[in-house]
A and B are shown apart, each in its own frame.
Chain A
Amino acid sequence: MEPAARARGIIKTYGDVVALDGVDLDIGAGQVHGLVGPNGAGKTTLLGLLLGLATADTGTLEVLAPPVAGFVDGPGLYPTLTARQNLAALAALHREPTAGVDEALAEVGLTDVAGDRVRGFSLGMRQRLGLAAALLTRPRLLVLDEPANGLDPAGKRHVHRVIARLAADGVGVVLSSHRMDDLAELCSEVTLLCAGRVVFSGPVAKLAAEAGELGYGVLTSDEARAVAVASGTTGLRVAGTDPLVVRGPADALDDLVVRLVHAGVALRELAPVVSPLEAAFLALTGAEEAS
């Protein structure tokens, strides 16, 4: 895959705060690259560097497929202007034809409210308008800081479709998110940042494997007997009762189900307490122990 952006050994400090501490990042053309991490991990800082909003203290950062467009810290719109006015001004600043404005609005599904002031827009509409603004310059590298923030399921699907189409056209997309399920749906690669360092980088499937042993919640017709059965199952640990949570390898879980049925206890649900990705996130960022 052709690279769209490449970062090596990026260090960025703000006074005593080390926002990025030796970060490497590769974004391929046509790839949707997710950036995750707890609050203050340095996601916005890294995306800002890609947009040229600040310069790194040391390290190299190359945007190999310009132009780059996008936003960090909210879509940055002017509430007293209409959606179309906001975009038209940006198009003029980028010497782009105004014809692109209506195209971009249609792309994100805001044609109906193009003449309305942004003041009255919901958070999700603003996010979509911000995405439309980023599309005006037909970027080859798209940088989006929490683009799904505030979107309802329909809006989210819409935005995901737009992003997927851009990636299919060969645009490199890098986006941050707090929601692991969004990333799983959208991204081929994820980079997990924690306190300015990369703690994981690779395909989403590989991240799930980092989760280690998951906790499973078990819902049955008879809680007390189920706890007793689980305690007697070899290879299985009871992590909690009421509701019952167990940990163990897959064959031990299979064994538990068989034994429950034999004991006359009906199994109503067996599911991970947190998703594998979330578990990986918690494990890798060390948030699990803290909580």
Chain B
Amino acid sequence: MTTAYAPPEVAPAPLLPGLRFELVKLLSPWRVRLLLLACLVAPAAFVAVVSAQTSLPTDTVFGRWMHATGFAGSLVVLAFACSWGLPLLTSLVAGDVFAAEDRLGTWRHLLVAVRSPRRIFAAKALAALSVVVLLVVAIGLSSVLGGVLTVGAHPLVGLDGHTLGAGEAARTVLLAWLCVLPPTLALAAVGLLGSVVLGRSPMGLLLPAVLALTMNLVLLLPVPVPLRLALPSNAFLAWRGLFTEPAHTGPLLLGTAVSLFWAVLATALAYVLFLRRDFTDLAYDGAGRRAIAAAALPLAGLAGIGALAIGVLTPASGTGIEKAKVEASLATAYGHLYRLQAAQLHRPAVTEAQLAASADCDKGGTRVVDRGPGHDWRCVVSWHLPGTSAVGTAIYQLDVTAEGRYVADGDGPKEVNGNFWVRTPSGDAPNPLWQLDGYVDLLDD
């Protein structure tokens, strides 16, 4: 008789105990418990300590407002988390779920217990994604609580200078944290993929971090907007658009969609490659070069197709940073902040409409085209002095980054945008017109 033996069809283990098992395994090492504890404590401690310092992290968005409101601290933590914190976290969690079984040599036993590789994959993927979400929620809540408890839930000045009331600020900050979940999940999915493809090798563990840092480097460069928006990391920056009025949701929605595409594709690839492996082979050490190509090429393809689609379907082109956009953004921010300054100096109230601020910008003198990121933007802001027919002018030096965020540095006249202190309800603060953060929507026409 030469019939091949097939094991009797057995019902796979139920999904819920499988998921619980994976969660218990994921959360049982000290490394992960410490990580969770750190995510709960460190952000609150950071916000509390830094907010009490005299020098604030003004290089980071909202850093200059940390004295004024607890929400700013949370957003500084968010910005840090987006640039390296979350990639590292996802690496440590998602990058290890599959590789851990390789390390322990437990695949065969898990297979005997669960009786279905599909169920194993589903439980592991769900467990990893839930732990990653849990960590993000922990960091978000910790930073908000730390800020609100030590500095207070005061109004927040947005990236166009308009003031968000405490309630609106709280809602928008929570929404911003929510918006980094999709790109985090995309990285986690890449982590799963690396864990499946690269097995025990440390590269598998570090894949999300390496990918995220590479993408961050790309995003620092003045790459064409469609390519920039096609990278899931862009969604780590796009939440800034929530803090203007009206909100710039274009890049944010695109970033969310791109991230979800990445998350789904990377998970699907991991699934296919996972089901193909031979669990009886103890010497298995990663799926080999062909599988690495099978994992990397579709993702690169997704980035390429995404960039093409965005290029065709949206008005995005070039670096997205144009003279007119910078001028409009700065004029708006100036108007809002002038009003704030008037209130802080107890001057008669003015409205943005009365001021009718406008800006005239130039990049790098007459020989350079006025577009693209750089620290050589120079703008002259004009506005109508309230109660007179006179027109005031003020000069700003702008450092515009490739992502569309800029810092405007007041260059006179001194009594308008110089470095002096004003008295505010939450203590002395620098003149709001001295240095200000702004945001240019790369997708805008």
Q: Which residues of A contact B111 (CB under 8 A)?
A: 53
Is B54's CB within 8 Å of the partner chain A?
no
Q: Which residues of B contact A58 (CB under 8 A)?
A: 2-4
Q: Which residues of A contact B10 (CB under 8 A)?
A: 52
Distance A259 CA – B29 CA, assembled complex (angstroms): 70
Which residues of chain A (81-105) have a CB below 8 Å from chain B? 81, 85, 89-90, 92-95
Which residues of chain B (107-150) have a CB below 8 Å from chain A? 108-114
Which residues of chain B (162-208) have a CB below 8 Å from chain A? none
Q: Are A93 and B13 in contact (CB under 8 A)?
A: yes
Q: Are A51 and B112 in contact (CB under 8 A)?
A: yes
Distance A54 CA – B279 CA, assembled complex (angstroms): 9
Q: Which residues of B contact A80 (CB under 8 A)?
A: 25, 28-29
Distance A90 CA – B10 CA, assembled complex (angstroms): 16
Is B251's CB within 8 Å of the partner chain A?
no
Q: Which residues of A contact B105 (CB under 8 A)?
A: 73-74, 76
Tell me what chain B mostly uses at the interface: helix, strand, loop, or mixed.
loop
Is A159's CB within 8 Å of the partner chain B?
no
Is B8's CB within 8 Å of the partner chain A?
yes
Distance A18 CA – B106 CA, assembled complex (angstroms): 24
Q: Are B5 and A10 in contact (CB under 8 A)?
A: yes
- Nearest chain B CB to A56 CB, angstrom units: 5
Q: Are A60 and B28 in contact (CB under 8 A)?
A: no
Which residues of chain B (5-47) have a CB below 8 Å from chain A? 5-8, 10, 13-14, 17-18, 20-21, 24-25, 28-29
Which residues of chain A (51-68) have a CB below 8 Å from chain B? 51-61, 63, 66
Contact of A78 among B1, B3, B4, B25 (CB under 8 A): B25
Q: Are B108 and A76 in contact (CB under 8 A)?
A: yes
Among B7, B10, B114, the one with the most A-chain Cβ atoms within 10 Å of its Cβ is B7
Is A72's CB within 8 Å of the partner chain B?
yes
Q: Are B17 and A85 in contact (CB under 8 A)?
A: no
Distance A61 CA – B4 CA, assembled complex (angstroms): 9
- The 8 A CB mask of B88-120 against A (1 = contact, 0 = none) is 000000000000000011101111111000000
Distance A73 CA – B5 CA, assembled complex (angstroms): 22
Known A48-B280, A80-B28, A94-B13: A53·B108 in contact at CB below 8 Å: yes
Distance A115 CA – B29 CA, assembled complex (angstroms): 15
Distance A92 CA – B21 CA, assembled complex (angstroms): 9
Q: Which residues of A contact B13 (CB under 8 A)?
A: 93-95
- Nearest chain A CB to B115 CB, angstrom units: 8
Is B282's CB within 8 Å of the partner chain A?
yes
Q: Are A89 and B2 in contact (CB under 8 A)?
A: no
Contact of A60 among B5, B17, B29, B113 (CB under 8 A): B5
Q: Which residues of A contact B106 (CB under 8 A)?
A: 76-78
Is A71's CB within 8 Å of the partner chain B?
yes
- Name the CB-closest residue of B to A59: B5
Q: Are A63 and B109 in contact (CB under 8 A)?
A: no
- Name the CB-closest residue of A to B109: A76
- Name the CB-closest residue of A to B6: A55
Q: Are A60 and B112 in contact (CB under 8 A)?
A: no
Q: Are B1 and A53 in contact (CB under 8 A)?
A: no
- Nearest chain B CB to A117 CB, angstrom units: 8
Distance A85 CA – B282 CA, assembled complex (angstroms): 25
Q: Which residues of A contact B20 (CB under 8 A)?
A: 89, 92
- Nearest chain A CB to B192 CB, angstrom units: 19
Q: Are B4 and A63 in contact (CB under 8 A)?
A: no
- Nearest chain A CB to B3 CB, angstrom units: 6
Q: Which residues of A contact B1 (CB under 8 A)?
A: 8-9, 59-60
A-contacting residues of B (Cβ < 8 Å)? Answer: 1-8, 10, 13-14, 17-18, 20-21, 24-25, 28-29, 104-106, 108-114, 279-280, 282
20 contacts between A and B (CB under 8 A): A9-B1, A48-B280, A51-B112, A53-B111, A55-B6, A56-B5, A60-B5, A61-B5, A66-B8, A71-B108, A73-B108, A76-B108, A77-B106, A81-B25, A89-B20, A89-B21, A92-B20, A92-B21, A93-B14, A95-B14
**Given A52-B112, A80-B29, 15 other A-B contacts at CB below 8 A?**
A51-B108, A53-B279, A55-B4, A58-B3, A59-B5, A60-B5, A71-B112, A74-B105, A76-B108, A77-B109, A78-B25, A92-B17, A93-B17, A93-B18, A93-B21
